Every structure is written in C-alpha cells, then in structure tokens.
C-alpha cells in the first residue's frame, strides 16, 4: 500500500470497518451515483476492489480508546475516494463516530 491515513478509534472495530467498506465497494456495481462520484476522483470504478483499501488497528490489545485505525490505500486517488465518498457514507449510515477523527501525521 502506498498511502496511509490514521484515525482515532470509533465505535466499530477495524474488521467491521473493513467489512462495511467491502460492502460499499460491492455496491458500486448497482449504484450509478456512487460510480460517478468515484470516477470524478480519477478512479475507474471497475478497478476499485477490496484489495484497494486495507483497514487495520494499531495498538491492538490496548484500551480501545487509545487504539488507532490505519487505512492504507494502493494509490492517492483511492485515499481521496475513501475521504470524500466512502467515509462520509459510512458516517451517514452508521453514525458520525463509526470512525474517529483523522489524526495528524507524525511525519
């Protein structure tokens, strides 16, 4: 994966976010509005797959309040699709705290 974004932990685990993201990616086939949004970020919707985005927890086994959620992408345009399309849809469907706020990069 080429790019990573780090978020505070939300109300869902990394595996739940991974599964929910995979379901949204699968919806691309039936949702013309979603396909158009993805295309506007320079991604061919047919090339977006569950392998395009990796979701994992950092600090697993620690108090979930201090754990981080790492979202990794195969390319910068996929990160844009995550930030501007998939994440807002997750928050609308499952609550604004499904994923915490983005953390500042250490680098």
Higher per-residue confidence, 84 vs 29: 84
**How far is it, in rounded angstroms, from Cα 87 to Cα 7?**
11
User: Residue 85 — pLDDT band, cuts 50, 70, 90?
Assistant: very high
- 13 vs 41: CA distance, rounded Å: 27
What is the per-residue pLDDT for 66? 52
Q: In what order do the strands lie in the sheet with 68-73?
A: 3-8, 68-73, 53-58
> What was the pLDDT predicted at 29?
87
Q: How far apart are CA 77 and CA 44, in angstroms?
A: 10
What's the burial of 7, exposed, middle or buried (CB within 10 Å: 0-12/13-18/19+)? middle
Domain boundaries, the chain: 3-94
Q: What is the mean pLDDT of residues 84-94?
A: 95
Residue 2 has pLDDT above 70, yes or no: yes
Tokens linked to 51: 């392998």
pTM of the model: 0.85
Residues 6+ positions from 97 with CB-CB distance below 8 Å? 10, 11
The pLDDT assigned to 63 comes to: 55
């Amino acid at each position: 994966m080429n790019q990573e974004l780090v978020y505070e932990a939300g109300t869902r685990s990394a595996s739940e976010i991974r599964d929910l993201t995979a379901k949204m990616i699968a919806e691309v086939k039936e949702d013309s509005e979603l396909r158009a949004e993805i295309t506007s970020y320079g991604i061919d919707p047919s090339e977006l797959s569950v392998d395009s985005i990796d979701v994992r927890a950092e600090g697993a086994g620690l108090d979930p309040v201090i754990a981080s959620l790492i979202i990794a992408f195969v390319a910068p345009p996929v990160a844009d699709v995550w930030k501007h399309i998939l994440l807002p849809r997750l928050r609308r469907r499952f609550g604004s705290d499904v994923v915490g706020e983005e953390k500042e990069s250490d680098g």
